[in-house]
Amino acid sequence: MQGKVILFGGSFDPVHRGHIEILRYVHEHIGAQKSILIPARRSPLKPNAPAASNAQRFDMLKLAIKDYSDFEVSDIEFNLPEPSYSYHTISHFKQLYGGDTTLYWIAGADVAGELHRWYRIQDILNMCEMILVHRGGYSKPDENSLQANLSISTAAKQRITFMQTPLIPISSTEIRRMASEKLPLDGFVHRSVAQYISANKIYELG
C-alpha cells in the first residue's frame, strides 16, 4: 500500500469525542489514506489496567468510528505478549504495509518527557514518524528539552513533530466518573458508545 497510515494507540477507556476529533484533525492535516485506532492491553508505563475489558473497549471503538470510512480498529495488542510495547505494534504494521507506506504514530505531547524510557525508541523512529499532539490554548511543549534528553540519532529526532489540535476539554477519567454516577454522557462520547456503556453497566460502582 502506498500512502500514509496513522497509528493511534491508547487505553480508550472509554473512547470519547476528543479522541476522534484529534484523530480526524491529524488525518486531514497530513492527508492520510487510513487511520487505525489500537486499544492497548496495558501500558508498561501505567500501573493500573483499564476498567473496561479488552472486548468492551474494542466494541466501543468500533461504534465510535462507524461514520468514518477511513478509520478502523485493530486488536493487535490484545494478541501480543505483555507488556504492551509500541515497538512491537509498529513493527507489525511496518511488516504489514511495507516500505511504500509512511507510518505515523500519534501520542499526546505529555509523553514527551517519557520518550527516553520507551522501549527501543530509536528503532521506533526508524520505522515511523511520531506526531505529538498538544491541545490548543496550552503552551507548546519544550521541544529543545525533548531533543536534549533523547539519546538517539539526529535523524531520528527529526522524525518527531509537535502538532497543535483543537481544544476539546474531555477526559476518559471524567467520563468514567459520570458513568459511575449514571449521569448522561451525551456530547462526550458517540451516542452509540453512551448506549453501550449504559447497557453493559461498564463503569457503574458495585
pLDDT in tens, 116-157: 889 999 999 999 999 999 876 666 777 777 777 788 888 888
Q: What is the mean pLDDT of residues 183-189?
A: 94
Q: Which of these ranges, 2-16, 129-143, 167-181, has the smallest mean pLDDT?
A: 129-143
The mean of the pLDDT values for the chain is: 90
Q: Does pLDDT of 206 surpass 80?
A: no
Alpha carbon distance 4, 167 (integer Å): 25
pTM over 0.85: yes
What pLDDT does 91 receive?
Answer: 96
Segments making up each domain of the chain, as ranges: 3-167
Burial of residue 192 (CB within 10 Å: 0-12, 13-18, 19+) is middle
Q: Does pLDDT of 49 surpass 80?
A: no
Alpha carbon distance 103, 71 (integer Å): 14
Alpha carbon distance 174, 154 (integer Å): 39
Per-residue pLDDT tens over the stretch 19-45: 999 999 999 999 999 999 999 876 655
What is the CATH topology of the domain spanning 3-167?
A: Rossmann fold (3.40.50)
Q: What is the mean pLDDT of residues 5-29?
A: 96
